[in-house]
Amino acid sequence: MAGNDAGLWVRRFHPADDAPFRVVCFPHAGGSVSYFFPVSRALSPAADVLAIQYPGRQDRRHEPGLATIAELADGVTEALLPWLDRPTVLFGHSMGASLGFEVARRLEAGDVRPHALFVSGRVAPSRARDETVHRRDDAGLVAAVKELGGTDAQIFEDEVILEMVLPSIRTDYTAAETYRYTPGPLLQAPIHAHVGENDPKATVDEVRDWATHTSGPFTLTTYPGGHFYLNTHAPAVIRALSDALRPSDLHITQ
């Protein structure tokens, strides 16, 4: 179905060609498609789950990373075009939420309306923080990633693996921390925001302001935990995604 370029970006763990919906998952900074394997397994066959693989990691490790959300969004949007033949839900965690938002904006500018946008663990675009983790030396960058607790600790104990993954982590942090919202039309798609109550990267108030970026419905759900509350509360988030997979007047239109 998808062309060669789309094949670089899109991964399907449990293909469901007859599913009535698609769910597109955007990883966090330093993350990869494997993080969403459980989501794909849980939602299949009700939804055909696509996970987005950014350049510079795993099977794309020999490609240079993209250091801006705009570049990532342009690449992802183009890669997704062959897959938008049915209602599509976008889900992004942390940096992936900003990327999902920018992809949604590009799709709607092209008269393709997502069924819904799920954003997790990320401040609203209009509430950008002044963060500089991407400017730290390697030790400082590793310390910041460790503190959030979302990355397998064994990675940091293996010098060979660490040398392989650090460039993509730094590039992603650069993209996430330098992202600034450019005002434009509100999304028409509903936005469903999820966040840990003690997330050091996004307070509940900062996440609540996602409501100002859509003309459609908005919901906010909080969970005990920090930035990677998802690791503990994945079943609840997956249920929320599943609940969104039902017909409405917000289907994709092309």
Q: Is 216 exposed, middle or buried (0-12, 13-18, 19+ CB in 10 A)?
A: middle
Maximum distance among all alpha carbons in the chain?
A: 51
Catalytic residue IDs: 94, 227
**Nearest Cα to Cα of residue 94 among 231, 190, 245, 213:** 231
CA angle 138/176/242 to nearest 5° reads: 120
CA distances from 253 to 10, 17, 34, 77, 109 (A): 21, 19, 30, 16, 12
CB-CB contact of 80 with 6 (8 Å): yes
Q: Which two tokens stand for residue 169?
A: 């982590």
